[in-house]
Structure 1
C-alpha cells in the first residue's frame, strides 16, 4: 500500500493481518514487520494506533475474545433447538476451527502479552475462559429446559468440553478432526447428563 493512502479501520486491518500470519506461520512468526508487511502498510501505522507491539497483540486477543463472547450469546439463544450434542459439536468446531488455537499459543508463548491480559482476565486462558463460560451458560439453559439432567454440574462439564475440543484441534499442521470425532467427544463428556434421545 503506498505511503499516504488512508486505511479504513486501520486497527481491524492490522488485526486481520496478524491473524493471517498467526494461522499461517504460528505465534513465533508474529512481529511488527510481519504484520505490517501482511497488511501492506508502513510500520508507523501500527505504532500510531498502539503503544508497542505487545499492546497490539493484547488488543488482538481482546478483540477475538469479544467475538467469542458474541458467539456465546448466540449459543445460549440456541437452547432448545436441534440436539444438545449437535449444537455443542458445531460450537466447538466453530471455536477451534477459527483462530482460537493459535491465539492460545500466542497467549502462552508471550509473557508480556499474558501479563497485560491478566488485567482483564485474572485467571484462566483468555478466549478459552470466555468459551467455557459460554458453554456453561448454554448447558444451564438446556438444564432449565429439561434437556440436560437436573443437578448436572455444568461448571465441570463446560471446561471438560473446551479442554477436549482444544486437544482435538491442537495440531495446526494436520487436517481438522471430522465432525463425528468431535461429536463422540461431546457425547462422551455429556454421558449421563443428556435427557434427549441420541441420534
Structure 2
C-alpha cells in the first residue's frame, strides 16, 4: 500500500478514535494510549505520524476546522432558498448536533499546550467557534445582499450571538440534545427584527 494512503488511513482512524473518547469520556480522558487502544492499533502508530501528542491534537482541531469551512460553502450556497431562520437552525444543528464541535472547544479550553500551539496560526478567538462565527457571518452577508435580512442588520453582532447561543444549547454533552424547535426558537429570537422572509 502506498505510504500516503496508509498515513491518511491512520490519521482518520486516530482522529475518529479521539472523537469517540472525547464525546464519551471528556477531554481529561484523551491520552495517546487511550486513543491507540480505542483505534485498535499499536501504541507507536500515533507517534510515527505526529511529532508529539499536542501536534496530533492540533491536527485534529485543524481537520475539524476544515470541515467547518466546507460547511460554510454549502451554507452560503443556500442563501436565497428556504428561510433564513430555517437555514440558520439547520446550520447550528449540523455544527453542534454531533457534539464533536462542543467537545473540541472543551479540549482546547482544557489543554494549555494545545491552545498555545493553535495560537501560532490562529492568534484571535477560540478555534472552531471563530470559524463557525465566520461561517454564519458570510451566510448572513449573502442574505443581506439578497434583501432577505435588513440592509442595516449588524452581521458582526448577530453571528457571535447565534454561535454562542447554539453552543450553550448543545454544551451539556451528557444531556439529551435540544429539539429542532428549541434551536429554531433561539435563532428566531436572535434574528427577530432583521429577517425579511416569513418564519416557518
Q: Mind listing any 5+ residue stretches in structure 2 that lack a counterpart?
A: 1-5
Shift of residue 139, structure 1, vs aligned partner: 0.3
Shift of residue 7, structure 1, vs aligned partner: 7.2
The answer as to 2:44 corresponding to 1:41 is: no
Distance in 2 (CA, whole Å) between partners of 1:7 and 1:119 is 25
The TM-score normalised by the length of structure 1 is 0.95
Superposed counterparts of 1:27-176, under 5 Å: 27-98=27-98, 99-176=100-177
Shift of residue 198, structure 1, vs aligned partner: 2.1
Name the structure 1 match of 2:189.
Answer: 188
Name the structure 1 match of 2:3.
Answer: none
Shift of residue 41, structure 1, vs aligned partner: 0.7
Shift of residue 196, structure 1, vs aligned partner: 1.0
Distance in 1 (CA, whole Å) between partners of 2:164 and 2:7 is 38
Aligned to 1:43, the other structure's residue is in SS state coil
Aligned length: 194
Aligned to 1:9, the other structure's residue is in SS state helix
Aligned to 1:176, the other structure's residue is in SS state coil
Name the structure 2 match of 1:23.
Answer: 23
The TM-score normalised by the length of structure 2 is 0.95
In 2 relative to 1, CA 142–61 (structure 1 residues): closer, same or farther, beyond 3 Å?
Answer: same
Distance in 1 (CA, whole Å) between partners of 2:159 and 2:129 is 10
> C-alpha offsets along residues 115-135 of structure 1, whole Å, 9 cap, x if unaligned?
000012111110110010000
Shift of residue 13, structure 1, vs aligned partner: 1.1
Q: Mind listing any 5+ residue stretches in structure 1 that lack a counterpart?
A: 1-5
Shift of residue 184, structure 1, vs aligned partner: 0.6
In 2 relative to 1, CA 55–7 (structure 1 residues): closer, same or farther, beyond 3 Å?
Answer: closer
Distance in 2 (CA, whole Å) between partners of 1:131 and 1:48 is 32
For the Cα contact (< 8 Å) 2:7–2:49, is it kept in 1?
no
C-alpha RMSD of matched pairs (Å): 1.0
